[in-house]
Structure formats: structure tokens, C-alpha cells
Amino acid sequence: MIYSPSSLRMFSEDRSNFYLTYIAKNRPPRSPQTMPMGLGSYFDCRVKDQIQLDVLHQPSLFSTEMMSSVELPIREPIAPHGERVWEMYKSVGAWKWLKKLLRKVTDITTEEMISGKIGSVEIRGIPDLIFKVDGKWVIFDWKVNGYFSQSNVGPNKYYSKLLEVGGKNKMHRQVMITDPALLVNGMHTMDECNQGWSVQLATYAMIMGIEEDFIGMIDQLTFVNGSAGKELRCGQFRMKITQDYMEEVYNRYELMDGVVKSGHIFTDMTRAKSDERCAELEDVGFALLSDDDPSLLTYMQRHCR
């Protein structure tokens, strides 16, 4: 089995869903892409295409990338929202900062599947952006949160800078910039900010064979309700991810792989009870495959808590 940051997260958080999604013989169909998910994918395509045009000086791949990343039913309705978010990202200065940095870097990799065998575990992922600057490895990712929310959504803690409309930029109170050119917050590591982000970036680093501390960069796009509609607040997160943390993440993958290979999936139960639970979930998968309108989420809400 080939693992990913998503499978590791699901293994840790929801073992039943993990079994249904990755192991079951009767695997239910994947849930359709939602508007928030589609917005994140559309924005990724837009910003990476701009890198293709302005930094790499290569032809546009936007249409091809968008068609492979955004599912057909929401492709048309998501486009105006995606373009609006891209314009906001530029207006707060986030794209200007990134473009200036990327013109100094080497070894740029954007949005391509990478995979490798680390120890005994096969892992794959799709990093947004990997590059080297001043001899340092950087792995960059974008997160789009709260655009469709009715309430205001704020950024995570420990951002190096928060870019807002009108140039109202500020630093988090728990920041000590140790590399002004890269805005690295030396007071905290990325795992202290967000475990999910850290696991994702550490996974990509392991696959790439990076055997040193590296810099994780996240641009988190969050939104508040302003007088003219949604307004962007872009948190620039720039923190180190250490070799020790990467080893910790690898150990989690190794644990998951060991559980899957053993067949004893539900380790909080006896082996017999675990096997019974797996059999029940096979019935769940078969029922969902047979349903005219299968919904994994609905079923899990009713039966798998």
C-alpha cells in the first residue's frame, strides 16, 4: 500500500473511515468535490500558472491544470470566486513578495506527484512548491480557509506577517525573525503552529530525500466580512521543520504500515473484534456501492461514530 499525508491523518483520527477509504474490498465512491475544496484547487492552479508565466517564463498550463484539479460540476460556478481570491491575494502584496523571492531560487518543483520508499514504507504526495534559496530547502503551500463561511475566519497563530487590505500588515506577538529575507520565525517550529501542515510538509521533504532541517512556508488565506463583502487576511507562516520532527512523522507512517500489514486494524480491540468490525465495514461499503446516491459522509455520520 502507498501512503500519503491524507491517509496518515485519517488513520490517526478515524480508523473506520480509514478502513473504508483505503483497505476495504468494497470501497465506496469518493465524495464529490465541495465548493470550498474546489476554491482551494482553483486558487492553486491560478497562482502556479502565474509562477509558470512570470518566474519560469513557460507557456500557460492553467486550463489543463484546472480541468484536472476542479471537478466538472463546480468548475463554472467556482471560477468567479477563484478569480476574486487571486485578485485579493495580489492586492495585499502576497504575490509580490513571493514573486520577488522566487526570482532568486533554484530547483523549483511545482505541483507534481512525487513518491518514494522511505525505509519499508512507500509514500507519495503532491507538493505545491519546492525550491532552494541561499542553499536552504523551502517547501511552500497555500491554504484557503473560510471564504464561504458566514462568520469571520482568522489565521493560525505564529504568523510572521499578516497581510491585510490597505497595507495594514502586522506581526504576531510571538515572533522573532531570524532570517529577514525569508521572514523565518525562529521562536517557533511549524509543528507548534499546525500539526497537519507540518506532517504534510515533512512528508514531502522525506520523499525528496531532504536530510536536514528545512523551512516550511504556508500562505494561509482567511476571510472576514467587510463593508464590500469578503476581505482577505493572508497569514505568512515561515518556520523551521526539524530532522527530529521528520523522524517522528516517519515513525507514524511505519506504525500505520505495520498495522495494515498485520491485518489487526482496530488496535483498541481484540483481533477477533477488530475482524468483526472490518466485516461490518465491508457491508457498509457494499451498501454504499449499491446505493443510487451514495454518500460516505451521511452514512458515517449515522453509523460510524
Does position 165 have pLDDT exceeding 80, yes or no?
yes
Give the predicted TM-score (pTM) of the model. 0.91
223 in a domain, yes or no?
Answer: yes
Give residue 297's pLDDT. 47
What's the whole-number mean pLDDT along residues 30-52? 94
Tell me the C-alpha distance between 229 and 233, whole Å. 13
Distances (CA, A) of 163 to 90, 170, 283: 11, 7, 50
Confidence of residue 113 (pLDDT cuts 50, 70, 90): confident
Establish if 133 belongs to a structural domain: yes
Structural domain span for residue 214: 32-252
- Look-up of cell digits 495580489: 90
Domains: count for the chain: 1
Which of 124-128, 163-167, 172-176, 268-272 is least confident? 163-167
Residue 149 forms part of a structural domain: yes
**pLDDT of res. 18:** 96
| pLDDT for residue 269 is more than 70 | yes
Residue 303 has pLDDT above 60, yes or no: no
What would the mean pLDDT of 204-217 be, rounded to a whole number? Answer: 96
Asked if residue 296 belongs to a domain, the reply is no
Q: In the chain, count of helices (H) and strands (E)? A: 11, 11
Would you say residue 287 lies in a domain?
A: no
Confidence check: pLDDT of 231 > 80: yes
47 domain residue, yes or no: yes
| Mean local confidence (pLDDT), 263-272 | 97
Residue 20 domain-assigned (yes or no): no
The average pLDDT across 104-133 equals: 90
Average pLDDT of the segment spanning 155-181: 92
Confidence of residue 227 (pLDDT cuts 50, 70, 90): low
| pLDDT value for 39 | 97
- 11 is a domain residue: no
Question: Is the pLDDT reported for residue 255 higher than 70?
Answer: yes
Residue 107 reports pLDDT greater than 90: no
Scanning the structure block, which residue is given the C-alpha cell 512525487? Answer: 114
Contact 160, 183 (CB under 8 A): yes
Is the CB of residue 49 less than 8 Å from the CB of residue 89? Answer: no
Is 50 exceeded by the pLDDT of residue 305? no
Q: What's the pLDDT at 169?
A: 87
Distance of CA 205 to the CA centre of its chain: 14
- For 190, residues 6+ apart whose C-beta sits below 8 A from its C-beta are 197, 198, 201, 216, 218, 237, 239, 240, 241
